[in-house]
Amino acid sequence: MNLFNTFIMKAVSHLPKWFATPFAKPYVAGETTQEALKNVSKLNQKGFRATLDILGEHVLSSNFAKNITNQYCNLYKQISDEKLNCTISVKPSHIGLNISYSEALQNLKLISQRAKDLNNFLRIDMENSLLTDQTFKLLNECKSITKNIGVAVQAYLFRSLNDVNTLADSEFNARICKGIYKENSSVAFNDRLDIKNNFMLIAKSLVAKGSFAGYATHDQELIDELINWIQTEKIPKERFEFQTLFGVPMDGRLEELINEGYAVRIYVPFGPDWFDYSIRRLKENPDIAKYVMKNFFKNG
């Protein structure tokens, strides 16, 4: 399977878009804002919260970064107009962090101001570990604009527990995820059990600090462990929510969580950059290749 994964990883970026469509289609909420908002509306009707993310990252054009910034600002207005239960998630490199810190800060301040004006929330996504310090710095600077802002924390990074212990307080809001970027073993756990244990340690630290947490995982064993801990410690349901990616099958578990009174938020990516997004995810994690082929033969 490793040789097969490697072959697919190298070949897929040279193949036409139709090859990636069976892989991407279930997990991307369309190419346009209208498609994405329709999907959010459907999720809301089923009791789910949502967060929208325009696909793209590592932008090197100031004009393009500004255009994406404007799209996010307009998206807040559309969410407000349609009265959707939906926030926004932004990757710093999508709005200029690979150009300069000041570029990203200027654009993120505009988005933060729009979030404040429309009484909505802004999540700053975490990318590879080379951008972690700058991402936390962006968070702290934009807190002067709005308190309705949070960040993502990656459980596979060695540093993350210390970051939470240092930064978290009653106004801190973190999305805990395992982490998807390929990182060196000098900075990240590789063992799944180690990552899961660190996820739980971060979750417990956030509670101790009085922070809000989004538990972003599709690992049902981890969800079981979280619920057992939540129930044992009697953690108030308003202090956390469960989060998953759009389109990932969970065998009815998410509906069960909602029926049990837990909040569940779906992360909804969309946009014309779906193909590049899919290829990057594949290159960062070659194991995804088997899912590409599974969906290809299932849906093709």
pLDDT of 273 higher than 50: yes
Shared domain check, 4 and 137: no
What span, in angstroms and rounded, lies between the C-alpha atoms of 40 and 34?
10
pTM of the model: 0.89
Per DSSP, the residues of 25-73 read GGG---SSHHHHHHHHHHHHHTT-EEEEEE-------HHHHHHHHHHHH
For residue range 89-101, list pLDDT tens digits in order: 999 999 999 999 9
What span, in angstroms and rounded, lies between the C-alpha atoms of 202 and 54?
27
Shared domain check, 103 and 84: yes
Residue whose token pair is 């290809």: 296
Shared domain check, 277 and 133: no
Shared domain check, 264 and 275: no
**CATH number of the CATH domain containing 126:** 3.20.20.220
- Give residue 298's pLDDT band: very low, low, confident or very high (50, 70, 90): very low
Q: Is the dihedral of CA 208, 173, 96, 89 positive or negative?
A: positive
Q: What's the angle, vertex CA 122, arms to CA 93 and CA 284, rounded to 5?
A: 35
Tell me which residues are annotated as active site.
Answer: 125, 175
- Give residue 16's pLDDT band: very low, low, confident or very high (50, 70, 90): low
Shared domain check, 236 and 133: yes
Q: Among the listed ranges 191-200, 219-228, 244-253, 259-268, which one has the minimum average pLDDT value?
A: 244-253
Shared domain check, 211 and 88: yes
Average pLDDT score, the chain: 90
- Give the domain range for residue 8: 1-28+271-300
Q: What percent of the chain has pLDDT over 90?
A: 77
Q: What's the angle, vertex CA 152, arms to CA 150 and CA 158, rounded to 5?
A: 135
**Within a 13 Å sphere around the CA of 117, how many CA atoms are in the beta-carbon half?**
12
Q: Among the listed ranges 21-35, 202-216, 254-268, which one has the minimum average pLDDT value?
A: 21-35
Q: Which helix (H) or strand (E) holds 267?
A: strand 264-270
| Integer Rg of the chain from CA | 19
What span, in angstroms and rounded, lies between the C-alpha atoms of 44 and 169?
30
pLDDT of 107 higher than 60: yes
What span, in angstroms and rounded, lies between the C-alpha atoms of 286 and 273?
20
Shared domain check, 127 and 18: no
pLDDT of 296 higher than 50: no
> 275 vs 202, which has greater pLDDT?
202
pLDDT of 7 higher than 60: no
Shared domain check, 141 and 14: no
For residue range 130-139, list pLDDT tens digits in order: 999 999 999 9
What span, in angstroms and rounded, lies between the C-alpha atoms of 153 and 197?
14
What span, in angstroms and rounded, lies between the C-alpha atoms of 244 and 218?
6
Q: Are strands 264-270 and 149-154 parallel, antiparallel or unpaired?
A: unpaired
Shared domain check, 212 and 126: yes
DSSP state letter for 157? B
Shared domain check, 197 and 286: no
Per DSSP, the residues of 210-264 read T-EEEEE---HHHHHHHHHHHHHHT--GGGEEEEEETT---TTHHHHHHHTT--E
β-strand partners of 152: 175
As for how many domains the chain has, the answer is 2
Shared domain check, 292 and 146: no
Structure tokens at 73: 């600002």
Shared domain check, 76 and 114: yes
Q: What's the angle, vertex CA 238, arms to CA 221 and CA 198, rounded to 5?
A: 40
Q: What's the angle, vertex CA 157, arms to CA 153 and CA 158, rounded to 5?
A: 120
Compute the average pLDDT of residues 247-256: 90
